[in-house]
Structure 1
Amino acid sequence: MKNLNLLSAALLISAVACTEENIVEDVSVNDGKMCQVAFDATTVDMEDAGEIGEIQTRTMLREGGEIYWTANDMLGVFTNEGKPESFITKNGGKVTRFEGYNNVQGDYYVFYPYNENATISNGVITTELPAQQYPEPGSFYTGGNLSTARGNKDEIIILHNACGWLRISVSEACEEKEITEIIIEGKNGELLAGDVEIDVDNGGAAKVLESSENKSTRVSMKTEDHIYPGKYYYFVLPPMTFEDGIIVTFVNKDGLISKQDLNFPMVIEQGKWSSLSNGNPTDFKYAENDSTESCYYAYNLDGLYEWASRVNGGDYDLDCQLMASFDFGERTWIPVGTKEHPYVGTFEGNGRELRNLKVDSDLDCVGFFGAIGPVNRNEGKDEVDEVKISNIKFINPVIMSRYRGDVNKTDDDGYAGVVAGMMNQELIDNYSGAVIDKCEVIEASVSGCENVGGIVGRSYGGTDIISRSSFQGSVDGAMFIGGIVGNVEGDVVDCHSYSASITHSNNFRDYEARSGGIAGTNNGDILVCSANKVNVMTDGRYAGGIVGANNGVIVGCVSCGEVKADFSGGIAGESFGPIKASYSNCNAKAGVVYRIKTQLIGDFEACYTTVEKLQPVASPEGKYNLWYAPYIQLKKKDLNKVLNAYKCDSHGLENSFNGAHWKFEQSIDEYADKLPVRPFKYPSESVDSN
């Protein structure tokens, strides 16, 4: 193995130049072929750093000014005018090793952090400085501090910092204000982030490009937790002078803001920091609602209603960002988007709360959104517009649809869900998709007729995605009734219902219900989902702990509760499609599935019931029991094996469907140490998680 030894010194607590030293040894010229290379990196004591006279800030700054490498960090290396190669470290600490492959020969350029889209031309590296930076208490964040160097196989090289830092702390008096975001902007519209150029051979200072599509005059640090008083937080900024000062905006957990105008010049020098200590923001208030050509920023409830009015008035693709949490009180809400004119923008909730949402309507599509999608393709372009609803918490919503379609018309249905009544439309570009991601619903009441779900009434798009969402409350309907979605054509990934009741409405006993803890009917993929302490009680035909009727795929699901119907199963009432690596602890007529309607034996693998003496299949058709029972009741050790072997599209969701999150935890049954339980974080301490 060829070795490049990287020597790094620790950071001193003072406003001094910061660099990194690299010693390169045993690197011979090769014929240009890719070969394995390693950077051995260590930190030196602070007193030695003082003697060296040049110190570094690269990965993480710890208490006392010590620098530590972090695991899974990456450097980039250019050896010619092409794409960079990545070097990754698997271990953190004071000593680590970056490993990768490169055709090392002659001069080369190193830059941090690695960016696959970085380019180099005549010694000038173009990379990115993000406007959204991660708040790391007492430090800059991993991957934030841009630095570059030019080296040769026989030289010591020094990675020079391309940026400076503005470090900010808030006073101990801010403990109860629960500040979640700090925003920095210059008074003269200075460019603070975006694509940057770094002339490595001439000082290496970062400069934001005017031509950058992602250029920004604001830089923010935002956390779902809170900013800790007394800790410094380091903004990474390009070297510059703010002639007329800066504006610092503090945002609390409810989205209220407090602005501080600092009316004095401030200099950000390369490799140095400036400090703003013990900020004490007061007079938090709602910001003004703000709107650009394509996005509306809602800082108060009136602003949210204004955005909804604009969408329903014809601006169907007007994006929105929720900048505060709101309580609807006694105000009612008109759903955004209709079947004829669905919402086709992106709505970013920013983790805010919407409390006491009330919808009581005769419309056919009912929810916060009536209808969303389909995705539209831009004329003459390969890319498509994104339709996405994400990162919202609904607390105590009441959604009531009084629409009852004509039973003689197959396309005359009602749709009800807290987030949306309908995703896409029946028979309209069925392979188009929309996304609902990270939406949490607590203490909800949802009622309607044909398609009723805790999150969505019905998904028609073949590439729709409902992901990382959860539901707690009650769902009552007539035909397709589910804890997450009533009827789904797309994918449901990493979604969970808990402490929920799914019931067949007394008002619609003439409808044949399909009911489930996750979905009433599944025509797509349901992957790694759980229904915990969910009761599915209907007088309908099919009901299951996960789905009533399965026409698609179910993999890696767990159910616990009680299921009651004519044909009830711990996982599904009936199934035309595969069910794999799933188990139930549900009281039902069948432990796994009541009736199997597929003749492919391999469609059922590693499925289980933990209810004593309950048969996995209870269909009266004897041949199904004879064919399938032995294959369903596999050894428990096969659960993870089957899960990990199954190939599916998890849509790039972090930690979804990779098997790593399946853990063995204690349960009430004798097979506890053999059964995987999907970890689920309950949103409230008041919910019993046992």
Structure 2
Amino acid sequence: MKKYFIPFLILGTSMLYSCTKEEIISDTNSSSTEKVKLEFKAGIDPVSRTVLVAGNKVNWEENDAISLFDQNSNNKFITSTGGESVIFTGSAQDNQNTYYALYPYDADATISGDGITTTLPAKQTARAGSFVNNLNPSVAKSGSDKTLIFKNACALVKFTLQYSGSNKITKVMFRGNSGEALAGKLFVQVNDATPLTAVESEISTEVILSDDQGFENQKDYYFVVAPSELKNGITLVLYDANGMEWKRSSNKPVTLKSGHILNLDKIEPGEFKKVIRISTAEQLIAWAESEDRLTTDVILDADIEMKDMKWTPVGSSMDIGKGYSGNFDGNGNAIKNLSLSGTGNIGFFGGLAIGAKVHDVVFTDATIKGDASSSVGVVAGTSLGIIGSCKVSNSTVSGSNNAGAITGNNSLQVNNSNVQNVTVSGNSAGGVAGVNYGKIEYCTASGNNTKITSTGLSAGGIVGSNSEEGGTKTSGRVLKCAVDGITIIGNRAGGITGENGFGTVAQCVVNKCNITHNSTGNSANLGGVVGYNARGEVVASYSANSIIGAAILISEAIGGIVGYNMNSASSPAYVYGCYSTHVSLLGSAVKNIGAITGYNNGHVTSCYAVLPDGVTGITLIGNEASTGIIDHCVEVGGNNYTELENASDLTVTDGTVWKAAEIWEITASGVTPTINVNYIGEAGTN
């Protein structure tokens, strides 16, 4: 659908349009399961017209196409004309009670229930006065009358270029300051109100508009973005044809709503600054020794070999003026054989300050070593910036304090990053971060040679210790992370986090891991997902095919999901909508060995477990059930799985609301349920 925006005034945020499919009576046999020719009429929804200002016009364009979903397939429907009202034709089954549709047509789009999966590209072509054709996703559903009312699944961000300089602007980038997902694989739940849209994979935290011919002055431009709460504000970056840039940031919270326009108003760029492009180790070191290294933006244009090269970490802490605050773009290139040791915060970056973004960098064969007070990581020792789409492999990280393959201390955002075949050791040790006070989302740790060891207390496949910081409700969040085939050793050890204090671990997966401890005492807590859950929440997660403990070990508590689930009256602990399957629980822990939790005095809700073949005598909860609240669970050996969906909703620390009925996919009586991987709890208001 082509949207023509005739100039009009938008104050703040304005509602977008939607389009209505009016009924055309088909002469086909409605009882047939074969595809037949159908027609839909698309026009302007008069309801949506009432929220538009005068002068705005919305048209379909010749050869526009939509995806129409019947029971078995995604069908392409095309219009041969343009205008406010057109006819779409195509072939589909004519025996459906409900049809779902998607604009624009996407041959790879799929549907599950009332949810459509499609793609919103992060790289978009600029078009003066509008957005490019076949870009802004809209969805609709219809009854048997074949009337479709399309509604926008995404938001628009508008700016008006006001520029009197001589630089030819060819690219504009928009992002949230906390690394929120703005594009990628979308899951859109279709309903009668506003569609619910979430980015489920292939995440991009920034959206780029490009025009090789140059952006036009005094013209309006639009980004198409996924709905999101940008709670720490936004950044807009303009690039000229020579790669120089101008940047504007704001820390004011911003809401991107489906069907709405966020108007950034007039953008008047000043002086464009240079971006350092680096192709050799010598150039990289020269930048790291320059006076403006903490603020300069960098792009890598080639792999960098650092063997036998001395490296001094850029930035020493997260403080402004002491930490790196620029944009370091690895451009998909690798930094190889980085080796360094010392005191303080140690990594390629010693510290990332607020505003920093490090992304698309690959590190291989790195060796990072810190002292007793260090926070150490390959990418950064400590971070208050955004780390996205980074990879670390075949590397060793060690330090007596906080150690992680990506960063020792994450206080803002690590997103879509992966570690493989790494060795990490420290007091709090994690595959991604030693400690997390921010958000870690869509990250993985894998490789049979990956070994995470706590030399003090906590070890986790993703995070050693995950905590809410200073009452900030959106901190301490680990979402949609996965570990596979790794070894985790610690006094509090878990597949995802060793310890979860007031934080949230949600939609995470642990598979084929070995989780154990080296202690000779009986204070160790081991869990398939979290070792020690201290008044936090573990939600919609599962562990499978792992070995927890060892035959000769004595532990305090061993659980398929959580080892020790600790509650308090003011801050309850929850294990909600989780399951374990074929997890071996080994060693002695008195009575505190359970297929879900070893010890529980909190809440265990909507959970079930399947023991390994031939194993008996292990119940869902290890200790006496009366010490905690257990509800809507299925005890080991039971199969009344529909009970799982009947649990009350759970509101977690950051205000997100999770619904058991949405978490579970129950296909048939007696068949073990799975977790709906497309579901993410509804965003709260905190």
TM-score by length of 2: 0.51
2:19, 2:625 → 1: CA distance? 68
2:509, 2:481 → 1: CA distance? 7
1:423, 1:218 → 2: CA distance? 35
Q: Give the deviation of 1:521 after TM superposition.
A: 0.9
Change (3 A) 1:366 1:665: farther
- 1:391-410 equivalences in 2 (<5 Å): 391-401=389-399, 403=400
1:594, 1:522 → 2: CA distance? 16
**Which of 377, 402, 415 is the equivalent residue of 1:367?**
377
Q: Residue 587 of structure 1 corresponds to which residue in structure 2? A: 584
- 1:486-497 equivalences in 2 (<5 Å): 486-489=464-467, 490-497=476-483
5+ residue gaps, structure 2 = 1-17, 23-40, 66-77, 87-102, 107-115, 121-135, 162-168, 175-182, 185-207, 222-234, 244-276, 468-475, 567-572, 586-592, 679-686
- Code of the aligned partner of 2:410: M
Change (3 A) 1:630 1:31: closer
1:623, 1:29 → 2: CA distance? 55
- Code of the aligned partner of 1:674: T
2:525, 2:617 → 1: CA distance? 18
Change (3 A) 1:24 1:638: closer
Q: Residue 108 of structure 1 corresponds to which residue in structure 2? A: none
- 1:242-641 equivalences in 2 (<5 Å): 293-299=295-301, 309-312=313-316, 315-319=322-326, 320-329=328-337, 331-332=339-340, 337=345, 342-345=351-354, 348=357, 350-363=359-372, 364-369=374-379, 371-374=381-384, 387-401=385-399, 403=400, 414-424=401-411, 434-448=412-426, 450-459=427-436, 461=437, 464-472=438-446, 473-478=450-455, 479-489=457-467, 490-504=476-490, 513-523=491-501, 524-540=503-519, 541-551=524-534, 552-560=536-544, 561-564=546-549, 566=555, 567-576=557-566, 577-585=573-581, 586-588=583-585, 589-598=593-602, 603-611=604-612, 612-617=615-620, 619=622, 621=624, 623-624=626-627, 628=630, 631=633, 633=635, 637-638=641-642, 641=645
Say which SS state the counterpart of residue 619 (structure 2) adopts.
coil
Q: Give the deviation of 1:619 after TM superposition.
A: 4.2
- Summarize deviations over 1:627-663 as a string: whole Å, max 9, x none: 748856385634873689434488999xx99987866
Preserved CA contact (<8 Å) 1:526 1:555: yes
Q: Give the deviation of 1:533 after TM superposition.
A: 0.5
- Code of the aligned partner of 1:559: S
Q: Give the deviation of 1:594 after TM superposition.
A: 1.2
2:647, 2:173 → 1: CA distance? 36
Q: Give the deviation of 1:332 after TM superposition.
A: 4.0
Preserved CA contact (<8 Å) 2:170 2:239: no
Change (3 A) 1:351 1:664: farther
Preserved CA contact (<8 Å) 1:591 1:617: yes
Q: Give the deviation of 1:351 after TM superposition.
A: 3.5
Please state which structure has a larger fraction of its residues in strand: 2
Say which SS state the counterpart of residue 616 (structure 2) adopts.
coil
Preserved CA contact (<8 Å) 1:367 1:417: yes
2:147, 2:305 → 1: CA distance? 51
2:389, 2:376 → 1: CA distance? 20
- Code of the aligned partner of 1:115: L
Change (3 A) 1:572 1:28: closer
Q: Residue 70 of structure 1 corresponds to which residue in structure 2? A: 105
Q: Give the deviation of 1:587 after TM superposition.
A: 1.3
Change (3 A) 1:498 1:3: closer
Q: Kindly report the root-mean-square deviation, in angstroms, between the aligned alpha carbons of the 2 structures.
A: 5.9
Q: Give the deviation of 1:216 after TM superposition.
A: 3.5
2:643, 2:382 → 1: CA distance? 37
Preserved CA contact (<8 Å) 2:527 2:563: yes
Preserved CA contact (<8 Å) 2:606 2:644: no
Say which SS state the counterpart of residue 315 (structure 2) adopts.
helix
Q: Give the deviation of 1:219 after TM superposition.
A: 11
2:578, 2:48 → 1: CA distance? 55
- Code of the aligned partner of 1:546: V
Q: Give the deviation of 1:470 after TM superposition.
A: 0.7
1:594, 1:29 → 2: CA distance? 55
Please state which structure has a larger fraction of its residues in helix: 1
2:443, 2:160 → 1: CA distance? 38
Say which SS state the counterpart of residue 311 (structure 1) adopts.
coil
1:474, 1:442 → 2: CA distance? 10
Change (3 A) 1:579 1:23: closer
Q: Residue 156 of structure 2 corresponds to which residue in structure 1? A: 115
Say which SS state the counterpart of residue 416 (structure 2) adopts.
strand
- Code of the aligned partner of 2:488: I
2:359, 2:48 → 1: CA distance? 51
1:354, 1:470 → 2: CA distance? 15
Preserved CA contact (<8 Å) 2:300 2:331: yes
1:422, 1:330 → 2: CA distance? 20
Paired residues, what number?
Answer: 445
Q: Residue 215 of structure 2 corresponds to which residue in structure 1? A: 192
Change (3 A) 1:26 1:218: closer
1:437, 1:344 → 2: CA distance? 17
- Summarize deviations over 1:549-574 as a string: whole Å, max 9, x none: 11111111101211115121111111
Say which SS state the counterpart of residue 318 (structure 1) adopts.
coil
- Code of the aligned partner of 2:507: V
Q: Give the deviation of 1:338 after TM superposition.
A: 6.3
- Code of the aligned partner of 1:354: F
Q: Give the deviation of 1:371 after TM superposition.
A: 3.9
- Summarize deviations over 1:323-355 as a string: whole Å, max 9, x none: 342242374477994699842145655444221
Say which SS state the counterpart of residue 512 (structure 2) adopts.
strand
Say which SS state the counterpart of residue 457 (structure 1) adopts.
strand
Say which SS state the counterpart of residue 641 (structure 1) adopts.
helix
- Code of the aligned partner of 2:140: K
Say which SS state the counterpart of residue 674 (structure 1) adopts.
coil
Preserved CA contact (<8 Å) 2:391 2:419: yes
5+ residue gaps, structure 1 = 7-21, 59-67, 75-85, 102-111, 121-127, 134-141, 144-181, 199-211, 221-250, 258-284, 375-386, 404-413, 425-433, 505-512, 681-690
- Code of the aligned partner of 1:365: S
1:520, 1:90 → 2: CA distance? 44
Preserved CA contact (<8 Å) 2:344 2:375: no
- Summarize deviations over 1:201-236 as a string: whole Å, max 9, x none: xxxxxxxxxxx965432599xxxxxxxxxxxxxxxx
Q: Residue 131 of structure 2 corresponds to which residue in structure 1? A: none
2:311, 2:216 → 1: CA distance? 28
Question: Percent sequence identity over matched residues?
Answer: 14
